[in-house]
A and B are shown apart, each in its own frame.
Chain A
Amino acid sequence: MKKIGYLLSSVIILLVILFIILHEIKGDYYRLSVEEAYTITQNERILIRYDALDSINPEPLIIYLSENPVENSISAKNYKNLMAKPAELLNLKYRKIYRHTGNLVLWSDNPGLSAGAWVILNRKGYKNIKILGDPENETFKYSFQPDSLAGLK
């Protein structure tokens, strides 16, 4: 009777460990809630200019997001780089790479894509991610000229 008890509880623990391993391999869950990620987006400088890439230490891995990944001028030049389709961003092989890389820089021809990917990767628990882009684009570049006659029409 005692032996069965020992065996049973050992089996339960082994099963739990097995399920945890399977769950981690699948990895389809978030480590940060929306609220936590939202707080980070408010406090962190996310955009980084191309000429500031050198100042990142250790050397960043640049991830070029595109439906048709082709060689591109920025990532091909001087930095470690990776080309990924957005939908494959969370494949196991990429997740392994992220985990062993200190800094990630996302880049895409569509700035919206990298912003979305940034939020998802952050909620997945990866830290030190930047987006390659010009912070100037996030400020209002034009000035609005009111038409003083508009009210009279």
Chain B
Amino acid sequence: MAPILVSPDSQEWISLLTALLIGIGFGFALEQAGFSSSRKLAGMFYGYDTTVLKVFFTATIVALIGSQLLSYFGLLDLDMVFVNHFYVLPAILGGVIMGAGFVMGGFCPGTGFSALSIGKIDALFYILGGLTGAWLFAELYPLISGFANSGYKGPAKINEWLGVSPALFSLILIIIAIGMFWLAEKAEKKYARPDITKEL
């Protein structure tokens, strides 16, 4: 098992410490990559700055290859990794709401906190809005639980759905990613805007 295993048996402070360390690393990387600027995220939508796509897609495929190599060497049990449960329509609706929020606010929850830490006021209101939304969802849950639980597919995986091995799926995804990077760079050239790096 990988060194950052947080098992139900281990003591609580170990789990909390692990979470803290990973969180610090993640926040630091986000800030350093310039994600505390709302223009980065909005730029993805308008096509003039595709850093978000490149960074997160790269992170995804690196983690994908890394976890499968660890599994091959017997250091990580992939069956123990939690797979989010899939609800078809709720996932689509939730994705639309989230995406709209990201474009309008210019943050995702992670980058929102990253921006708040360097004192951005818009980030403060973004996070307050997010928390309000979560509270509203919790309060209204009895009314919408029928929809929220519809189309349940269990912990579904794309490679199982396609009937290919996880390794082959990784390869396909990496080829797709490389194609996306190439397209993204083209889009950046096409929709280029004046360099704003110095203002940030």
Direct A–B touching, Cβ under 8 Å? yes
User: Which A residues form the contact surface with B (CB < 8 A)?
Assistant: 16, 19-20, 23, 29
Nearest-CB residue, chain A, relative to B74: A29
CB of B74 within 8 A of CB of A16, answer no
B73 near A: Cβ within 8 Å?
yes
A-B contact pairs, 6 of them (CB 8 A): A16-B69, A19-B73, A20-B72, A23-B72, A23-B73, A29-B74
Q: Return chain A residues, CB-CB under 8 Å to B74.
A: 29
| Pairs A-B, 6 closest by C-beta atoms | A29-B74, A23-B73, A16-B69, A19-B73, A23-B72, A20-B72
Q: Return chain B residues, CB-CB under 8 Å to A29.
A: 74
A16 to B66, CA, bound (A): 11
Q: Return chain A residues, CB-CB under 8 Å to B72.
A: 20, 23
A60 to B190, CA, bound (A): 65
* Shortest CB distance A15–B (Å): 11
Instruction: Give per-residue flags for B120-159: 1 if the beta carbon is below 8 A from chain A beta carbons, else 0.
Output: 0000000000000000000000000000000000000000
A153 to B109, CA, bound (A): 79
A60 to B146, CA, bound (A): 60
* Shortest CB distance A140–B (Å): 38
Instruction: Give per-residue flags for B73-85: 1 if the beta carbon is below 8 A from chain A beta carbons, else 0.
Output: 1100000000000
A16 to B73, CA, bound (A): 10
A29 to B75, CA, bound (A): 12
CB-CB contacts below 8 Å: B30-80 with A: 69, 72-74
Nearest-CB residue, chain A, relative to B69: A16
* Shortest CB distance B78–A (Å): 11
A6 to B144, CA, bound (A): 53
Q: Return chain A residues, CB-CB under 8 Å to B69.
A: 16
Q: Return chain A residues, CB-CB under 8 Å to B73.
A: 19, 23
